[in-house]
Structure 1
Amino acid sequence: MSLFVKWFNIKKHLPNEVKNIQGPYLLLSNHVGFWDPFLIGHLLPRFTHFVSSDAVFRSPILRLFLTGLGTIPKKKGIRDTKVIRDIIGVMRQGEGVGLFPEAVRNWAGKSFPMDPSIVKLIKILKVPVVVAVMKGMHQFNPRWSRKLRRTKVEVSYKILFTPEQVKELSEEELFEALTQAIDHDEVAWQQEHIHPIHSKHKAEEIGHALYVCPECQKLNTFVAKGNDFYCHSCGYYLHINTYGFYEVKSSHQLHFDNIRDWYHWQEKWLINTVSQKFEQDKNIPLLEEQRLNIYRGEGSEEIKLLGEGTAYLYTDRIEICLDEDINPIILPLDQIQSLSAQLHERLEMYYNDTAYRFVGINKGVSALKWEVAVNTLWKKMGQDKKLMAYIPTEILEGEQLLGRE
């Protein structure tokens, strides 16, 4: 990891109060990409155990690697009391634990809202809270891309709460202070500092994050190569420049010059579209995803390939149709325990403690749109406990989209 940090010239700001911290501590950070825990953990002088989604433990190789690092698994999107016991156990040994209170890696460089339950954990642990804020990580390692880019990256640490402050402050005060400390807007930071991004692949796989064309408002229409991407339906053509901002190369107007604004527009668009269709014929699919590899795993067993197929999202269920099986697998939405986008085009859900995974065979399949659409339906069904914290409640409750900008 030292060679990685040196090669990419990653800078750290580590004050003595953090460098000399003794005993157990809780490390909290914004969350952008795959390398986050390795980077912020490595730059600290003491080893830190990180909490990670149990989905990555389904790979035998990753399970062996992460177990060796003392990683603590957690079921994503499900209340997991075991993970709290595991964290307490690690801290009783005098060691530090790191986690990401946004719970998921953000897609557009803007920090997601945090789950307020994080402050309950802080109150239970009663240890110093260290905050790390990564700047430039979305330009370097965006969630939706497999490729790294050379650009300015820096990580700043500080002690946000002492044990005395944890005891004295209310949960509301702790949550507000933590939100302000971790919040980071990569687009705003890049607009201010204008750091060049050295890459010939800035647009590749962007369809994982951007799934609605703002020109023709069709889904899954982007083709990306190098630093360019275009809509194969209407010809809307964009180039990503040296600084990560968008320039239009077709005769259309430029709707958005950055991923943050586009991301928030499409989120509102999809939520409103799904909401309007909630009362329609329940046999008309809202989403259809063809050419998927379908996997299933019972309990903690390794997830296994069932075969190729197509997945359909209806207003009350998900249907999985395997190419070699005439009988679909039907998963009622009200019985699905959790659903989340994992790495790139991978969608994973729990149904009766069984894990199902969809992986697109074609590049650029967006699992994100499924997560947003299903959360919208759960809100309509009154299943608020399943909702992801990152989707704004006011939009789910019916805020109308008035325009693109």
Structure 2
Amino acid sequence: MSIKRKPSWLERMLVLSPIKAYLRRKYRIEVVRNDTLHLKPPYMILSNHTNHWDPLIINSYVKEPICFVAAAPLFKHPLLKKVLNYTGAIPKTKARNDTSTMLEAKNHNRVIGIFPEGNRCWDGQTESIVYATAKLVKLLNIPVVIGMIKGGYLTHPRWADSDRIGKITLSLEKKWDVDDFKDVSIESVHQHITAALAHDEMAWQQKHKLAFQGERLANYLERLLYVCPSCKAIGRMYSEASSFSCKACGYSVIYNEFGFFEPSHKPLYFQYVHEWNIWQLQFTKKNLLEPAVQTAWHKALRTEVKLLVSDEHDNPFMKLSRGYITWHKSYMLYTPSEDSDPISFTIDRIEELNIHMNNKLDFRYDDHMIRMEFFRPRTSVYMWYHILKFSNAHTEG
């Protein structure tokens, strides 16, 4: 299948009908608005990204098959590549000009689906919107539908390994029509998109107070939250069942079925995950290069990984070796376990940094795509991502 040929109605029914029935039963999905029912393609759907099921949730309630824009590394998996190509998915990468592919989709009357955050949100708040989305919206000049998924984050937080049973609501609102942005600057279009996709899951939850029931609700929260608010220890947080504790000082909270923290030990510094995350990112940025905490950073950031490499085409990642990575302010050092020379990655030459799944750090380095696959399931790839981001900002400063 390709952009030129849409899956037939029968093909869609055979594939999507059982998926829609499964998702609707499992996650209690409620569609509160659907402007796509009488909308003819070509048009674009821009949606917030809260859950790994988001593309299928949206596709289940849109009559037309959707060409979703997918991260280029996904096409490096042989089986997944076949599925993505079959559905007409569009690979997204800075290394190529995607404009012609988008225009081809428009010319063949396709529905283009984009998650402008580029990734699932980590803490229930919409992430920063990729600026290039505004340029694309203005260039294509087709109707734009805003998809808004609420409850998706609490149903399966990105940092978690298990689902919770609650409720998901989906809205598909036609927000802009042809020529609505004809005389509008790209910066203004970006601001409009950012405002339209803004969602605070916990503010929504404060209003609705829905239970999201499951087992081991706090498990793997240390993938996201890596600084203790009580003793400021780095990389010492640990989750078990519904408890989230610091190994250094014993500070502990309970993560409940509403997605809020309850105190095990007072004081309760933060009520929910997003507050804690905002504080730790500010702490990281402020203290990253402070001599007093350098040892703690270096210890927390010594991590065992599997190093894989690929070229900039769709060739699969190939394993090079297994070893350890360490952070050194302006560079990241990979030291193989076997008797091989270390490899240094200068941070300001790292491009397209991205977290894939929860345990893979992808980036482009010169003419290669690099993947570092983390072995330990509780390791915070999120911490590594922001350390590299903040290090690069310090270097540029």
TM-score (norm 2): 0.89
| 1:311 is aligned to 2:325 | yes
Contact 2:301 2:384 in 1 (8 A): no
Which sits farther off after the overlay, 17-26 or 297-306?
297-306
Structure 1 segments of 4 or more deviating over 4 A?
A: 284-287
For residues 108 and 97 of structure 2, the distance between their equivalents in structure 1, rounded to whole angstroms, comes to: 17
- Structure 1 residue 229 displacement after superposition: 2.2
Q: Which deviations, in whole Å up to 9, do the C-alpha atoms of 1:273-294 show, x marking residues without a partner?
A: 12546xx99xx95862333222
Paired residue secondary structure (1:88): helix
Q: Does 1:359 align with 2:378?
A: no
Question: 1:42-76: per-residue Cα shift (whole Å, max 9, x none)?
Answer: 2112111101111222222221222222111112x
Q: How is 1:334-345 mapped onto 2 (pairs within 5 angstroms)?
A: 334-345=348-359
Name the structure 2 match of 1:5.
23
SS in 2 for 1:347: strand
Match of 2:79 in 1: 61
RMSD: 2.2
Question: 1:321: Cα distance to partner?
Answer: 0.7
2:234–2:300 contact (8 Å) kept in structure 1: no
Determine if the alignment matches structure 1 residue 92 to structure 2 residue 107.
yes
| CA 88–276 in structure 1, closer or farther in 2 if over 3 Å, else same | farther
Q: Which one-letter code corresponds to 1:297 in the other structure?
A: S
Amino acid of the residue matched to residue 368 of structure 2?
Answer: T
Would the aligned equivalents of 2:217 and 2:242 in 1 still touch at CA under 8 Å? yes
Select 2:363's aligned residue among 345, 349, 356: 349
User: Which residue in 2 is equivalent to 1:401?
Assistant: none
Conserved? CA contact 1:151–1:195, under 8 Å:
yes
Q: Which runs of 5+ in 2 are unaligned?
A: 1-18
| Distance of 2:176 and 2:188 partners within structure 1 | 11
Counterpart among 58, 61, 71 of residue 40 in structure 1: 58
Instruction: Report what 1:26 is aligned to.
Output: 44
SS in 2 for 1:101: coil
User: After superposition, what is the alpha-carbon deviation per residue over 1:300-358, rounded to whole angstroms, capped at 9, x for unaligned?
Assistant: 32112233211011111111011113421111122222322221122112111222222
Counterpart of 1:236 in structure 2 is: 251
| Whole-Å separation in 2 of the counterparts to 1:342 and 1:369 | 14
1:23, distance to aligned residue in structure 2 (A): 2.3
Post-superposition shift, 1:14? 3.1
Query: Structure 1 residues 62 and 146 mapped into 2: Cα distance closer, same or farther (>3 Å)?
Result: farther
Pick from 268, 282, 289: which aligns with 1:268? 282
The within-5 A match list for 1:71-82 is 71-75=89-93, 79-82=94-97
> Which secondary structure does the structure 2 equivalent of 1:230 belong to?
strand
Matches of 2:231 and 2:321 in 1, distance apart?
33
CA distance in 2, matches of 1:40, 1:174: 23
- Structure 1 stretch 235-244 or stretch 264-273: which is displaced more? 235-244
Q: Unpaired runs of 5+ in structure 1?
A: 383-396, 398-405
Whole-Å Cα distance in 2 between the matches of residues 337 and 241 of structure 1? 38
Would the alpha carbon gap of residues 299 and 165 (structure 1) be closer, same or farther in structure 2, given more than 3 Å must change? Answer: closer
Note if 1:162 corresponds to 2:177: yes
- Deviation string 1:142-175 (CA, Å, 9 cap, x unpaired) is 1112321111110111111100312244434433
Shift in CA distance, 150/195, structure 1 to aligned 2, threshold 3 Å = same
1:128 is aligned to 143
| 1:81 Cα offset (Å) | 4.5
In the alignment, which residue of structure 2 is the partner of 1:180? 195
2:305 is matched with 292
CA distance in 2, matches of 1:80, 1:260: 33
2:161 aligns with 146
Quote how far apart the aligned CAs of 1:97 are: 0.5
Give how far 1:198 is off: 1.0
Count of residues in Structure 1 that have an aligned counterpart in Structure 2: 375
Contact 1:274 1:286 in 2 (8 A): no
Letter in 2 for 1:295: L
Counterpart of 1:134 in 2: which secondary structure?
strand
Amino acid in the other structure paired with 2:303: Q
Is 1:258 the counterpart of 2:267 in the alignment?
Answer: no
Measured in 2, the distance between the counterparts of 1:22 and 1:339 equals: 36
- 1:214 counterpart residue number: 229
- Does the CA-based 8 Å contact 1:286-1:313 persist in structure 2? no
Instruction: Give 1:197's match in structure 2, choosing from 212, 228, 231.
Output: 212
The secondary structure found in structure 2 opposite 1:199 is coil
Structure 2: how far apart are the matches of 1:173 and 1:356?
Answer: 35
Tell me the CA shift for residue 5 of structure 1: 2.5
Tell me the amino acid that sits aligned with residue 85 of structure 2: T
Q: Which amino acid aligns with 1:381?
A: T
Give the TM-score normalised by structure 1.
0.87
Identity of counterpart residues, as a percentage?
25
